[in-house]
Amino acid sequence: MKALLVESDFKTPGGYPTAAIERLIKQLNDRDIEVMRATSVPDGESIIDANEPIDCLLLARSMDPKEVDPAQNLLDKLHERQENAPVFLLSDRGTVTKTLSLEMMEQISEFAWILEDSADFIAGRIMAAIRRYRQQLLPPLMSAIMKYNQTHEYSWAVPGHQGGVGFTKTPAGRIFHDFYGENLFRTDSGIERTALGSLLDHTGAFKDSETNIARVFGAEKSYSGVVGTSGNNRSVMQACLTEKLAAVVDRNCHKSIEQGLILTGAAPVYMNPIRNAYGIIGPVPNSEMWYNTIEYKLLHNPFGERDNGYLVLTNSTYDGICYNVAAIERAISPGAGRESIVPVLHFDEAWYGYARFNTMYKNYFAMRDNPKDHASNLSTVVATQSSHKMLNALSPASYIHIRNGEKPLDFPRFNQAYMMHTTTSPSYIIAASNDIAAQMMDGECGQSLTQEAINEAVDFRQALARLYAEFQKKGEWFFKPWNIEKGRKPGEEKDVPFQDIPAEALATDQSYWVMNPDDEWHGFKGLDADWAMIDPVKVSILAPGINVDGTLEDTGVPAALVNAWLARNGIVPTRTTDFQLMFLFSMGVTKGKWGTLLEALLSFKRHYDANTPLSEVLPELAAKYSAEYGALGLKDLGDKMFAFLKQDDLGKLLNQAYDALPTPVLTPRAAYQKMVQGECELVGLDDLHGRVAANAVLPYPPGIPMLMSGEQFGEPVDGKESAQIAYLRALQKWDDTFAGFEHETAGITITDGKYQVMCIKTI
């Protein structure tokens, strides 16, 4: 246990009571309480800012009246992250109500008269307060697991390692055991531990945990997932769809959505998002979600007219674009006397579980406002979230949140699907991390954690924009952030550069991040007003070489080369396109971390401009492909890559490949069944025209389906091959030209450097 002692401005006629403080510290140490000492309020704030775990704050100070009490900020900082941590005021006896504000008095747990009460008595009070604090600190499941672990049982059930003992019987097992620590293995339990309840039946401590998760995340019901959002998505789809129904699907979807279509047999109708020249995927237009639009698509479904069972949207997208969910619910709402055309509205929020906890995202996430305010005549709303991605859980922990509407997703039906996709041997450790992840976001803590991440992202964006502007003045190139380029300071009417807008305003005012249809910086044509915003914490960096209209400049710096440099220096973006690199500012990002990224970008520029030999800056690449790169410098390779992008116009080919949806011939389920039955064959690019894909084809970038299972590659038009085949051919050519920089394309088999697609033999 730890206590923070902040020795402030204690003044008495006899001088500072050093002896009394020292006696108290000794008594606390004897009770196994470690005391960290700060000699001033600012020092105490620094310790709290460093996220030191504190079980109790001891504030030693006099009762002298103060106009502005410096300790108030200290208490505010403490209770942002440790809301109920006890605070003891150690002081001389004084008139409390005349010297302390009401706000401060409300944040102090106990007053201790350091010169009158004994050190033993005060230490006992502190110890009792810490115990009370710790008892209510842990959420239900984690608390139950820790209590159960104290029984030190002799188990004759699984798992076979029996609390880790099995691992200690061989050297390799011992290393594994010692690396992770005994508690991990002691709490790795089987489903026979009925004292904890059941994850699959949602009973006992697991039920209490899920009830708490629902409260924290604003859901009517929440379920803890241990197989990632992929499993959650399949669970939701399995609970909603049959082969007699249709599903309205965002084309910017994760592959687990296609897997759900395969499992259920539902016939998909698609909503196609808009795109910009940077390769960034924009939102699905508002008009795609109008009642009449969905009704028309269902009536003209190529697989026959079907009722709709479900609609799914990716929110936020992989490029950090978030939907105005309030506007979506208005768009799909039926008119008077009409039944909802979307029984279940599913938001795949795998990368977006933090949105509820900061006003930056007001109205732009699924579980907004109070669940009791969700009208019964609306669609049932579901959100699936990867708590391990942007929250603080272990992989592959996840959540399913539900608010029931006109057609409820009732428990018996849902839980059959949930059990189908959740292992009968769930990891209690992963489930417990879900429990903790929710607790960490509860109350002021969630707002504090999310605000810190937003603040760091804004600081980085402004620092990058400032450097870009400075290099521009000198006629030199640099990277820039993808966000507004100008905006107004609060209370002013004249626009100023992005980097000159007060950081506090950018970090708290949503309007700076909502994309305006008339603005040019985002590059989206036909954007709806008040429909989509970019997430401040998902930072896209644009490399030079492309204009917002898609035209390429005379020179440029391909992002693939920047990515290779960053990887060499231990920095990994989450996404890279031809001229875009994306970085996630999660709760673990610090100024030191993003400062290193900024320095790496500056260092890349220095080496690029100096054309430093690849043998120095990318030695492994130069050694492995010495014939191709051995004599080249960094800029030489960049120029070759840029010339390729310009000549073959990869960005234009990509957008053409995704602009029009391919013709569906089979449902994803029917195509999969053909594959299982062996009625498929690999087909090269020269013979792909008119063939039906047996599996989805997903080039990275952009990482979303170009073709879904059962869709047809187009026929040649005016002597030109279909857009999808042309793009795959350009990717194959890039791979042949730039060894070590090959694209990843799911659904493609490469044989002797040639792309092949698994296609249905006959239809």
701 or 324, greater pLDDT: 324
The predicted-structure confidence for 248-261, as pLDDT tens digits, reads as follows: 999 999 999 999 99
The predicted-structure confidence for 30-79, as pLDDT tens digits, reads as follows: 999 999 998 888 888 888 888 888 899 998 876 665 656 778 888 888 88
pLDDT > 90 fraction of the chain, expressed in percent and rounded: 67
Rg (CA), the chain: 29
Structure tokens at 340: 């909802």
Structure tokens at 556: 């440029």
Q: Picking from 342-351, 375-384, 687-696, which range would have the lowest pLDDT averaged per residue?
A: 375-384
448-468 per-residue burial string, b: 16 or more CB within 10 A, e: under 16: bbbbbbbbbbbbbbbbbbebb
The predicted-structure confidence for 436-445, as pLDDT tens digits, reads as follows: 999 999 988 9
Say what the pLDDT of residue 156 is: 64
Taking the C-alpha atoms of residue 560 and residue 742, their distance in angstroms, rounded to an integer, is 10
63: left (phi over 0), alpha (psi -120 to 50) or beta: alpha
Check: CB of residue 69 under 8 Å from CB of residue 89.
Answer: no
pLDDT > 70 fraction of the chain, expressed in percent and rounded: 94
Using the predicted structure, report yes or no on whether residue 80 has a pLDDT greater than 90.
no
CB-based contacts of 588, cutoff 8 Å, min separation 6: none
- Model confidence at 163, pLDDT cuts 50, 70, 90, reads confident
Alpha-carbon 639 to chain mean position: 34
SS3 label, residue 363: coil
Say what the pLDDT of residue 93 is: 61
- Model confidence at 95, pLDDT cuts 50, 70, 90, reads very low
- Model confidence at 12, pLDDT cuts 50, 70, 90, reads very low
Taking residues 212-225, report their average pLDDT. 96
SS3 label, residue 12: coil
Q: Would you mind telling me the total number of residues written for the chain in this entry?
A: 763
Taking residues 426-443, report their average pLDDT. 93
Check: CB of residue 32 under 8 Å from CB of residue 2.
Answer: no
Check: CB of residue 674 under 8 Å from CB of residue 696.
Answer: no
- Model confidence at 89, pLDDT cuts 50, 70, 90, reads confident
Taking residues 269-278, report their average pLDDT. 93
- Model confidence at 150, pLDDT cuts 50, 70, 90, reads confident
Using the predicted structure, report yes or no on whether residue 406 has a pLDDT greater than 70.
yes
Say what the pLDDT of residue 13 is: 45
Cis peptide before 662 (omega within 30 of 0): no
Residue written as token pair 């900020």 = 73
SS3 label, residue 732: helix
Using the predicted structure, report yes or no on whether residue 96 has a pLDDT greater than 60.
no
Taking the C-alpha atoms of residue 245 and residue 51, their distance in angstroms, rounded to an integer, is 51
Cis peptide before 544 (omega within 30 of 0): no
The predicted-structure confidence for 603-643, as pLDDT tens digits, reads as follows: 999 999 999 999 999 999 999 999 999 999 999 999 999 99
Nearest Cα to 90, choosing from 62, 71, 118? 62
Taking the C-alpha atoms of residue 415 and residue 207, their distance in angstroms, rounded to an integer, is 13
Say what the pLDDT of residue 196 is: 87
Using the predicted structure, report yes or no on whether residue 472 has a pLDDT greater than 70.
yes
Say what the pLDDT of residue 754 is: 95
Say what the pLDDT of residue 408 is: 92
DSSP state string for 298-311: HHT-TT---EEEEE
Check: CB of residue 408 under 8 Å from CB of residue 340.
Answer: no
Using the predicted structure, report yes or no on whether residue 246 has a pLDDT greater than 50.
yes
Please give the mean pLDDT across all residues of the chain. Answer: 90
Using the predicted structure, report yes or no on whether residue 712 has a pLDDT greater than 90.
yes
Alpha-carbon 557 to chain mean position: 28
Distances (CA, A) of 37 to 103, 114, 119, 438, 694: 25, 16, 17, 31, 66
Using the predicted structure, report yes or no on whether residue 92 has a pLDDT greater than 70.
no
Structure tokens at 531: 């429909």
347 φ, ψ (degrees, to nearest 5): -105, 115
